[in-house]
Structure formats: C-alpha cells, structure tokens
Amino acid sequence: MKNIAEIDHLLAAHPKDATCFGYCADCNEVHYLTEGNSRKYALELMAELEEHKRIDFHSQDPEPLFSTDCLWEKRGGQMFGVLECVDGAGNTVVLRAFSGQFNTRWQAEGWVPPAFDLDGYSRLMAKIEAVVQQMTDDIEACQQKADQDILKFEEAMRSSGLAAQKDYRRQRKEALKALALAKKKRRTYSQSMMSDFRDLYQLQNFKGNQRSILNVFYEDRGIPTGTGDCCAPKLIHHAARNGLTPRGLSEFYFGRVNKASTRFHKEFYPGCKNKCQPILGYMLCGL
Ligand SMILES: [Zn+2]
Ligand SMILES: [Zn+2]
C-alpha cells in the first residue's frame, strides 16, 4: 500500500467523468465508475419524487413519514442515488438509494437496504440498551451512597469527635471514587461499542471479497460517522451481493439547501471525499 500523499496524487488524477472513485490497496490503483446512462434514471426518480411527494411510491398504503415534506424542513434535504446495472442475463436493472436514514427509517420498499446487517444492528442495540441501563442504575446507586456519605461527614464535622470525622471523611472519599469509576465504566463501554457497530458493515466487492469496514477504511484518522451510509456504497454493496454489474452511477441532492450551502436542490454530486473515497476503491474492485 502506498502512503497517503501518493494515494492523494493518484486520486487527483482520476478520470474527470468519474462519478465515484477510490483507491484500492489490493491493486494499488484507483477504481471508478462514470455516470453511464444513470442520469436518465436519476431524472426519472426526481420527477417521481416531485409528482408523488413521498418515497414509497409503490405502496398502496403510504406511510406519513415517507412524505418528502421533511426534506424542506430546517435540517435540509437529502442525497439520492441511482445505479444502473446489468444482471447475468444482460438485462438492465436500476437500483435506487437514499443516503443514511429517511426520516428515521433505514428501509423502504423500492430502495436498497443499508450496507450493514440490520438484524445484527437491532440485536446489538437491544444488548447495548440493557447494559447501559444496568450501568446507569449502578451510577444512580453510587450517587445516592455518595450523597448520604457527604451528609454524614458534614454532620460528623459539627457534632462528632476527631476519630469519627476521620472515618466519615474516608467513607465520603471512597463513595465519590466509586461514583467516578461507575461513570467512567459507562463511558468506556459506549466507546467500545462503536467498533462493534462498524463491524456490522461487511462490505462486498466484485472480486467476491467480503470485509469489515474496519479493515477497508485505509486512512488512520478514524472512520467518520455515517461512513458506508451514502448512496454509492449502499448501491454498490447491494449490486455486488446480488450478482449485478454496475454500469453507471449518479447521486443528486433533493430538498432545501443544506446548512453549509454546499448542496443544492436537484444538483448532481460525485461520491464524497471523507466518507466514501476511502472505501469505494475496495468496493469497486473486480469490476
Ligand atoms: Zn459519501
Ligand atoms: Zn482493486
């Protein structure tokens, strides 16, 4: 594997018509996709979003939270993506994705699922909630004990002899120490669970490899929150899993301009630099 400066040099020389690309450490080169015919399908998707004003077009029983109204609220719009693929028989298959969650939902009919194991996610969430609840109960018990010991010490300072004061001072100190420890334990646990969450992203590529995102993301600055949740990785992972060969990819923004004023309604954007580029080279490998 090259160093980061060499990788940046290679990435800077990517083909100008690439809509998503990234450095592949296995091949020591940049893999990419262009838009192919996907823009046409992206424009169709935009028209459907505008016409139906919801994302569960195909459902007979539309859910209110799948309305696109939320894309015009203060927090801004969202990225959508289209991947043009061919299946084993040579038929064109068009995949659609929304970035991250749509209005708190990871899944919706007619859209590819997230690139992580959703059942594993639910199981992990339930386990974490139970453990964190137990730790929170422990913190509360330690807090109560510390409060009582502080009162006892204050009382002893007023009415007891020196020996008793010393005893209560020691008790108070121990109770506060136990409280600090219980808080630290919960903090450490929450942090350690982050890598378990990351590990739910077992990314598939076109060489038939499946690797945890923890082993794919090659930069050492830490994996940014939301990595793997953009449209490009969702779409490419789904294609690789289902024997589809990608031909072209387009991602566009839909809704109210974002806070940073870098994303505009119905504009097309290439795969993002921070989250997607460090995984897309691996994901596109074997195409
Ligand atoms: Zn991205
Ligand atoms: Zn490769």
Q: pLDDT by residue (tens digit) across 139-149?
A: 999 999 999 99
Pick from 199, 195, 233, 209: nearest CA to 120: 199
Q: How far is the CA of 217 from the centre of ligand 2 (A)?
A: 14
Cα–Cα distance measured from residue 30 to residue 28, given in angstroms and rounded to the nearest whole number: 7
Q: How far apart are the CA of 35 and the centre of ligand 1, in A?
A: 16
pLDDT beyond 90 at 160? no
pLDDT band for 219, please (50, 70, 90 cuts).
Answer: confident
Total length of the chain: 287
Cα-only R_g, the chain: 26
Tokens 């990608």 belong to 246
pLDDT greater than 90 at residue 39: yes
Q: How confident is the model at residue 1 (pLDDT cuts 50, 70, 90)?
A: low
30 CA distance to ligand 2 middle (Å): 8
Question: Ligand 2 center to residue 273 CA distance, Å?
Answer: 18
User: What pTM was computed for the model?
Assistant: 0.85
Q: Which ligand is nearest to the CA of 20?
A: 1
Nearest ligand to the C-alpha of residue 1?
2
Ligand nearest to the CA of 283: 2
How far apart are the C-alpha atoms of 10 and 190, rounded to whole Å? 37
Q: 173: CA distance to ligand 2 center in Å?
A: 58
d(CA 109, CA 61): 11
User: What does the domain layout of the chain look like in residue ranges?
Assistant: 48-115+224-270, 121-198
Distance from residue 283's CA to the centre of ligand 2 (Å): 8
Q: How far is the CA of 15 from the centre of ligand 1 (A)?
A: 18
**Percent of residues, the chain, with pLDDT higher than 70:** 100
Mean pLDDT of 249-256: 98
